[in-house]
């Protein structure tokens, strides 16, 4: 088997490692050559049947000794290809990461990057990969999009509840009829509660904004870059590999509050998209750069939320602030110049309520739901 054939095989294996399925083409192979060396290809092939393995399993599948495996893993983890952390029983597990959602792309752009020729070339290849994916979705829109619209939610909104200090706080209304069953494990609905759950918190750069910086299209919404949080074993992994730095709870809350003032949306991620499990990370997303936002979506957005924005017509003056700030274009003004929102596009982030100068918007809590927004179909 030639080296290019081995890279193609590695691409096929990585494409099935979770995240977003990828077309195994020249663009993918060129990308893999930046992150996987030729003498590591056989080791990647050991993950063909099982993407997560213990040391004993990996010794069998790879034919390598423990020392050889540890050397390979150490190098590949530094490039965001292998995740190496112990499971809940304390057993070290080696997991092959996807190229993105969440994997090599996110971890590499999460670290502090320089805008040099190498990173420009990597960013250019990812740009081509995203274009290839978009073409694949659009060419098979009527088959792929309905299938993806039925898939699990990728992230969960953790809403902003308070207006600016000059205003009275927005009241949080609980809709009792829609409240979850009492034995339901309810995930944290405030970032403050979420932060308090974790002793290990790491802060990295927003990979989406870093990626756009290198492309030469910097964020229009904020100059902040260190806004990406990982928790628990994800925090240990990202900090050990140099993708992030460990911070205190106080530092974390300060960054989150600054993100709210910039109009960023808190998006939490859970293992296997299961909101009953503790969060692994939080992104603070802008509208212009976020890869999982309406302005850049290739596949449908699927977001878990328990809140809905509700407008008080007596207080609304039709200023349009909510329309300008809304991340999913759910907000609009009706013929009477009163704010309204499309229920099927509202992710309950609370940004509209946070910036409303009249306190005319209330965040209403109901049953957990999934908001799905499909990408426009190419004409």
Confidence band (pLDDT; 50, 70, 90) for 173?
A: very low
Integer Cα distance of 50 and 60 in angstroms: 12
120 plus 152 within the same structural domain: no
180 plus 329 within the same structural domain: yes
Closest CA to 81 of 163, 1, 13, 152: 13
Q: Identify any residues that bridge with 201 across adjacent strands, giving them in sequence order.
A: 231, 247
The answer to whether position 321 is within a domain reads: yes
Strand spans (E) along 200-343: 201-205, 226-231, 244-247, 265-269, 281-285, 301-311, 331-333, 339-341
Q: Copy the structure tokens of residue 101.
A: 């959602």
- Cα 192 versus chain centre, distance: 19
Beta-carbon contacts of 76 under 8 Å, excluding residues fewer than 6 positions away, are 35, 36, 40, 43, 82
CATH number for the domain that contains residue 17: 1.10.10.10
Q: Copy the structure tokens of residue 148.
A: 């993806």
Instruction: Assess contact for 320 and 337: CB atoms under 8 A.
Output: no
The answer to whether position 378 is within a domain reads: no
Confidence band (pLDDT; 50, 70, 90) for 204?
A: very high
Which residue range is the domain that position 256 belongs to? 146-373
Q: Copy the structure tokens of residue 44.
A: 């990647």
The answer to whether position 164 is within a domain reads: yes
- In the chain, the number of structural domains is 2
Of 102, 120, 139, the last residue of a domain is 139
Closest CA to 70 of 92, 103, 49, 88: 92
Q: Copy the structure tokens of residue 213.
A: 């910086």
48 plus 90 within the same structural domain: yes
Of 122, 139, 156, the last residue of a domain is 139
Predicted pLDDT at 186:
56
9 plus 79 within the same structural domain: yes
Chain mean pLDDT for the chain: 91
Integer Cα distance of 318 and 338 in angstroms: 5
26 plus 82 within the same structural domain: yes
Q: Copy the structure tokens of residue 331.
A: 């907000």
For 243-295, write each residue's pLDDT tens digit. 999 999 999 999 999 999 999 999 999 998 888 899 999 999 999 999 888 99
Q: Copy the structure tokens of residue 369.
A: 């739901």
51 plus 126 within the same structural domain: yes
Predicted pLDDT at 20:
77
The answer to whether position 86 is within a domain reads: yes
301 plus 334 within the same structural domain: yes
215 plus 275 within the same structural domain: yes
How large a percentage of the chain has pLDDT more than 90?
83
134 plus 158 within the same structural domain: no
Phi-psi map region of 187: left, alpha, beta (phi>0 left; psi -120 to 50 alpha) = beta
Integer Cα distance of 91 and 102 in angstroms: 22
The answer to whether position 157 is within a domain reads: yes
- Cα 347 versus chain centre, distance: 15
The answer to whether position 114 is within a domain reads: yes
The answer to whether position 212 is within a domain reads: yes
How large is the average pLDDT for residues 304-329? 96
Of 123, 139, 155, the last residue of a domain is 139
341 plus 322 within the same structural domain: yes
Q: Copy the structure tokens of residue 212.
A: 């756009």
The answer to which of 67-71, 118-122, 364-368 has the lowest mean pLDDT is 364-368
Question: 166 pLDDT exceeds 70?
Answer: no
Instruction: Assess contact for 372 and 149: CB atoms under 8 A.
Output: yes
103 plus 12 within the same structural domain: yes
The answer to whether position 41 is within a domain reads: yes
| φ/ψ (deg, to 5) at 86 | -70, 150
116 plus 161 within the same structural domain: no
Question: 325 pLDDT exceeds 70?
Answer: yes
Strand spans (E) along the chain: 52-54, 82-86, 92-96, 155-158, 172-174, 201-205, 226-231, 244-247, 265-269, 281-285, 301-311, 331-333, 339-341, 361-373
pTM above 0.85, yes or no: yes
């Amino acid at each position: 088997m030639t080296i290019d054939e081995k890279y193609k095989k590695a691409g096929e294996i990585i494409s099935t490692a979770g995240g977003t399925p990828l077309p195994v083409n020249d663009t993918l192979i060129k990308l893999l050559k930046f992150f996987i060396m030729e003498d590591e290809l056989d080791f990647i092939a050991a993950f063909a049947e099982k993407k997560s393995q213990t040391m004993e399993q990996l010794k069998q599948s790879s034919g390598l000794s423990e020392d050889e495996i540890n050397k390979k893993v150490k190098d590949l983890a530094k490039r965001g290809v292998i995740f190496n952390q112990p499971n809940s029983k304390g057993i070290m597990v080696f997991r092959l990461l996807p190229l993105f959602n969440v994997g090599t792309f996110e971890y590499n752009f999460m670290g502090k990057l320089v805008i040099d020729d190498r990173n420009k070339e990597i960013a250019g290849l990812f740009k081509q990969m995203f274009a290839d994916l978009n073409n694949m979705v659009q060419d098979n829109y009527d088959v792929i999009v309905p299938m993806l619209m039925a898939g699990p939610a990728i992230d969960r909104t953790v809403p902003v509840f308070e207006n600016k200090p000059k205003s009275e706080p927005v009241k949080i209304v609980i809709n009792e009829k829609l409240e979850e069953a009492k034995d339901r494990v309810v995930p944290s609905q405030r970032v403050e509660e979420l932060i308090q759950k974790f002793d290990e918190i790491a802060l990295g750069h927003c990979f989406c904004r870093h990626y756009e910086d290198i492309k030469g299209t910097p964020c229009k919404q904020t100059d902040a870059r260190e806004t990406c949080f990982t928790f628990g074993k994800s925090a240990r992994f990202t900090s050990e590999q140099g993708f992030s730095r460990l911070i205190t709870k106080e530092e974390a809350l300060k960054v989150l509050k600054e993100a709210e003032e910039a109009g960023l949306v808190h998006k939490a991620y859970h293992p296997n998209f299961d909101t009953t499990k503790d969060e692994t990370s939080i992104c603070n997303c802008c509208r212009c750069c976020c890869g999982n936002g309406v302005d850049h979506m290739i596949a449908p957005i699927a977001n878990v939320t328990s809140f809905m924005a509700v407008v008080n017509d007596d207080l609304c003056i039709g200023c349009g602030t909510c329309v300008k700030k809304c991340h999913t274009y759910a907000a609009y003004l009706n013929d009477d110049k009163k704010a309204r929102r499309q229920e099927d596009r509202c992710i309950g982030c609370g940004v509209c309520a946070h910036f409303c100068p009249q306190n005319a918007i209330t965040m209403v809590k109901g049953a957990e739901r999934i908001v799905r927004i499909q990408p426009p179909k190419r004409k």
